[in-house]
């Protein structure tokens, strides 16, 4: 029995009962794969079911209002994924008559679809030999083929995918791809691989070389850089000033945040806030003491957020608006802003 056949046989007898496996279509596969990015299976499973109840097919998702899609995504975080998924659905309806394509180039042309998601849709939903390389599969493949390349590198992942292609059993591409994912989740774990229970241990190059615990290789993350985020706290008649992030922003497009910007830790927050508010077009800007502080991290930055009380004159310029406290939607503000609002409320 070949590596691929052995792996598929094990999977068919050991697979977990997950909701996206019960209704495997191109649409449900796409939704589940986007949800599973940076979110655990246990968190995704119930949200997947309720999301499909609300948007049962690609046309329903494309026809929905963006706010409704974001609301249905509540609890999963990283709301940019929900917005990207809806934009992809719109593109499928407009360009492919509502039918998700199986062609790799066509899939990659869709908003929010990268190489991994395209491969997942092609292999899992269309049963095409296109193993999708996520973190679990990269670890399994690196060990199977005793490959010590950096699995965070696109070059290494392409090489691992090329190694896997010859082992896809005829007519079992979907089961083979799912088996790789399952093996990484259940047995070929990062720190405590259960080689004694592995169905393909005899094919494993890392086991033969004694390097299971040393693979995969992943270069260390960049050191986080400290950042000061100075934000203006401008109240007027029970309302608070917000600005809306550009729709083409790389992070959280369209979300609301307190006016301000990032900068080096050495800057003075009141000076930064005054500069930002004047740049937005406000007159008579006066800044005072900080009223709230919060910390969080994003990518390679450690952010210290400081909200500085400020007064301004005149109406709100374009892109700015005062929102009553009781009408601020916590799902439409950035994480940083939500933390500052909570910190202010705790000290008020």
Which amino acids are annotated catalytic? 33
C-alpha atoms less than 13 angstroms from C-alpha of 342 in its C-beta half-sphere: 11
For residue 244, count other CB atoms closer than 10 A to its CB. Answer: 15
Under 8 Å between Cβ of 118 and 100:
no
How far apart, in whole angstroms, are the C-alpha atoms of residue 44 and residue 72? Answer: 12
- Token pair recorded at residue 166: 């010859």
- Token pair recorded at residue 309: 């009380």
Instruction: Spell out the SS3 assignment of 171-203.
Output: CCHHHHHHHHHHHHHHCCCCCCCCHHHCCCHHH
C-alpha atoms less than 13 angstroms from C-alpha of 2 in its C-beta half-sphere: 11
Give the closest residue to 137 by CA, choosing from 108, 111, 161, 115.
161
How far apart, in whole angstroms, are the C-alpha atoms of residue 150 and residue 138? Answer: 10
How far apart, in whole angstroms, are the C-alpha atoms of residue 348 and residue 346? Answer: 6
Under 8 Å between Cβ of 229 and 304:
yes
How far apart, in whole angstroms, are the C-alpha atoms of residue 160 and residue 36? Answer: 21
User: CA distances (Å), 314 to each of 277, 302, 325, 340, in order?
Assistant: 12, 35, 20, 25
């Amino acid at each position: 029995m070949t590596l691929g056949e052995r792996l598929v046989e094990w999977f068919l007898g050991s697979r977990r009962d997950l909701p996206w496996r019960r209704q495997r279509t191109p649409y449900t596969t796409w939704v589940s794969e986007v949800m599973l990015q940076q979110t655990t299976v246990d968190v995704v499973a119930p949200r997947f079911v309720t999301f499909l109840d609300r948007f049962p097919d690609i046309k329903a998702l494309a026809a929905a209002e963006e706010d409704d899609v974001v609301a249905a995504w509540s609890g999963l975080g990283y709301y940019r994924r929900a917005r990207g998924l809806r934009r992809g659905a719109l593109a499928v309806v407009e360009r492919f008559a509502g039918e998700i394509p199986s062609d790799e180039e066509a899939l990659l042309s869709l908003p929010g679809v990268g190489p991994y998601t395209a491969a997942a849709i092609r292999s899992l939903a269309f049963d095409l030999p296109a193993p999708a390389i996520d973190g679990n599969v990269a670890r399994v493949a690196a060990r199977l083929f005793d490959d010590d390349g950096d699995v965070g590198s696109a070059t290494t992942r392409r090489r691992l995918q090329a190694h896997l292609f010859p082992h896809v059993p005829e007519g079992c591409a979907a089961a083979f791809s799912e088996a790789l994912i399952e093996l990484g989740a259940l047995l070929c774990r990062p720190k405590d691989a259960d080689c004694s229970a592995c169905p393909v241990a005899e094919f494993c190059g890392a086991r033969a070389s004694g390097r299971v615990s040393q693979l995969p290789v992943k270069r260390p993350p960049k050191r986080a850089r400290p950042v000061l985020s100075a934000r203006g706290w401008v109240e007027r008649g029970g309302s608070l000033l917000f600005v809306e992030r550009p729709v083409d922003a790389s992070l959280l497009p369209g979300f609301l945040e307190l006016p301000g910007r990032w900068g080096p830790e050495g800057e003075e927050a009141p000076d930064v806030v005054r500069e930002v508010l004047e740049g937005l077009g406000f007159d008579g800007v006066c800044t005072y003491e900080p009223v709230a502080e919060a910390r969080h991290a994003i990518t390679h930055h450690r952010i210290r957020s400081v909200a500085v009380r400020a007064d301004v004159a005149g109406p709100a310029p374009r892109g700015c608006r005062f929102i009553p406290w009781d009408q601020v939607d916590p799902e439409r503000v950035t994480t940083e802003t939500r933390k500052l609002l909570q910190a202010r409320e705790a000290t008020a």
